[in-house]
Chains A and B, each alone.
Chain A
Amino acid sequence: MITFMNNSDSEEEPCNERTSLMSAESPPVPSYQDSLPASEAGEAQAHRKRRAGSSRSPNNIAGGEMSGSGVPVRESALENEEEELTLKYGAKHVIMLFVPVTLCMIVVVATIKSVRFYTEKNGQLIYTPFSEDTPSVGQRLLNSVLNTIIMISVIIVMTVFLVLLYKYRCYKFIHGWLILSSLMLLFLFTYIYLGEVLKTYNVAMDYPTLFLVIWNFGAVGMICIHWKGPLQLQQAYLIMISALMALVFIKYLPEWSAWVILGAISIYDLMAVLCPKGPLRMLVETAQERNEPIFPALIYSSAMMWTVGMAKPDTATRGPSHQTWDAAEDGRDHHRSPSHTDSRISETRSPVPTRPVTSLEELEEEERGVKLGLGDFIFYSVLVGKAAATASGDWNTTLACFVAILIGLCLTLLLLAVFKKALPALPISITFGLIFYFSTDNLVRPFMDTLASHQLYI
């Protein structure tokens, strides 16, 4: 099993790396807020990058674009409205992201607490070759740092590879890898997960039933994620695969390595998205230049775009009717259409220069969506799951990490509203989470235990 997984890991590797770099939607307006932490495809165990894409408000530049297309009068009015609406809807978007992150974490924590399999140590990934069963603390620390260096360098290589592929337009290749990864995730990992859960609860299931269940689950999942499907089903599937990946990470990463990796990933995220030469930033800019949508299945999106009000049966608006993400092919087709409606962002008010004014107003009632990369989900869940698995303070630590991550997410989204450009979603949350984990485990736990044993209340 493990060797098999490792093999498939190596297969998945390139896939994940490549798919991770999603260009945030490419509206015709260059400025759009996407939080793009390093985004990795979520499939294989190894590397995920996450991006929080916030398809929030068009901003002043959006207004500027529109003027260029000849709707000058509405511009300034729209600008202001849009800004206000952005921040007004801000709370709603934050909640729209809170809910899936919370759900993912709940699934992971519930599984960790109940299914023994995920807390047993059964080997390590090939990406973390150094074992942590060493006698001395220094040796263990050294091993975990080496593990981290290896993992991060693999991630960097993959990311750069993905950026190069994207730059040279090898879309078929990328999509093939993506589909392969999600296939493996949906079928293999679900099979393992289901097997373990059934074992834990001592429920017998015969192979034909199992086959039927997993086949249905996987097939619907593939369709939903890569093609079209009801938004909530898509969201549910993405949450499930993020949880599965997080569980695999929790199981196969040795303890100290996991914490060091979490820290290193958030630093990497910060640099990859914000530095001018960072691979993710280059990817975003390339995608923006080409006005292309994000790859499907790597970004969680929280809202739909309604084009019901559109009078013209454009190719541009027909496609994105339900999804906030479409297959890139669809997106590309859409984007080549002259009206440049972005299939991803729910705010289509900006990219509709040729549209009559009335349809703009209809569009204004659309929901705006916020996008977060799947890797973010995974690493948040890894943090909380590790806290649940290894902390001796049990639920207190888990709860503390959970609140810390949510607050970090809030702050990130706030910064997004302020800066209006791609931002990494990992650093703040992971930093808070790590601080709270270590401090709660070591400081708060003895205090609370003593209080509880005397039944004192503060």
Chain B
Amino acid sequence: YGLFLFTIARDPLRIIILIAGAFFWLVSLLLSSLIWFIAVKASDPRDERLQKGLLIFGVMFSVLLQEAFRFLYYKLLRKAIEGLVALSEDGCSPISIQQMAYVAGVGFGLMSGAFSMINLLADALGPGTVGIHGDSQLYFLTSAFMTMVLIFLHTFWGILFFHGCEHRRWWEIMAVVVMHLTVSGSSFCNPLYVGSLVPSYLLMAAAAAWAYLLSGGSAQNLRRFLLCK
């Protein structure tokens, strides 16, 4: 939320890009759940292993779809930038592709975070005990952390992905997809939280550093910033 306020709320164009990003994520979610729904309906509801397998399949498919939609969104934004450049007075776009990448990433992240968390939050307002049936007592906490890491990750992936598309470096794009798959896959280890939270945070740190370097930062900048020079 802080990210949103400080960096995006200033500029209306960014807000639009944000909402459009959220929309694209939503559409990808819709399609993936459609597929999963069809698969579930077509299969035997009593077979536990099959259901679990279908769920895993659904998750993976959804991840792939999300990345595909990120790519589509990138294409759309490219076209939009050309339009904006043509319209602006001084021949350069009011918003750069990197900023767009950042905002798109945040849009995706916010939407996915919202969808993951919001029902949880609503339930958390009501009465009840966490983990009363033998589930982990840390459910809410870990959910919160996981969601946060996922939001940040989406942001960084947005930057990396767009950068990869810009410079035609396919390995960057593949890296993003693989990272996403890894993070989702690691959440299969829940409730063994060590297996999911720790790798996710490590990946997030790596992605953050990578994105920072790509955006033009460097160790020097960081040092200067921290020492307030």
Contact = CB atoms under 8 A, between A and B. Distances in A.
Do chains A and B stick together as partners? yes
Nearest to B186: A457
Contact of B55 (A95, A410, A444, A454): A454
A84 B16 CA distance: 19
Scoring B58, B119, B142, B146 by chain A CB atoms within 10 A of each residue's CB, the highest score goes to B119
Contacts of A404: 23, 26
Contacts of A98: 15, 19
B112 A454 contact: no
Given A455-B139, A455-B187, A456-B59, A448 B23 contact: no
Interface stretch (A18-26, A66-74, A133-141, A395-403): A395-403
A447 B142 CA distance: 20
Size class of B's contact patch?
A: 35 or more
A450 B54 CA distance: 11
A270 B36 CA distance: 35
Interface stretch (A228-236, A296-304, A435-443): A435-443
Contact of B19 (A84, A400, A403, A458): A403
For the complex of A and B, the 10 pairs showing the least CB-CB separation, nearest first, are: A95-B12, A447-B33, A455-B190, A91-B13, A91-B12, A395-B118, A457-B187, A444-B33, A458-B62, A443-B33
Interface in B130-148: 139, 142-143, 146-147
B116 interface: yes
Interface of B is mostly: helix
Contacts of A156: none
B55 A451 contact: yes
Contact of A95 (B16, B22, B34, B190): B16
A329 to B, nearest CB: 35
Nearest to A398: B118
A94 B115 CA distance: 25
Given A394-B122, A395-B122, A458-B66, A452 B116 contact: yes
A399 B16 contact: no
A458 B55 CA distance: 11
Interface residues of A, number: 36
Interface string B5-40: 000000111011001101100100110111011001
Contact of B59 (A440, A446, A458): A458
B171 interface: no
Contacts of B176: none
B188 interface: yes
A197 interface: no
Contacts of B33: 443-444, 446-448
A412 to B, nearest CB: 13
A297 to B, nearest CB: 27
B63 A439 contact: no
Contact of A410 (B19, B30, B111): B19
B124 interface: no
A407 B143 CA distance: 29
A457 B88 contact: no
B183 A446 contact: no
Interface string B86-98: 0111000010000
Interface string B36-75: 1100100000000000000100110011001000000000
A95 B8 CA distance: 12
Given A95-B12, A407-B23, A440-B30, 11 more contacts: A88-B87, A88-B94, A98-B15, A394-B119, A395-B118, A395-B122, A446-B37, A448-B115, A454-B190, A455-B142, A456-B187
A454 B188 CA distance: 8
A452 B191 CA distance: 12
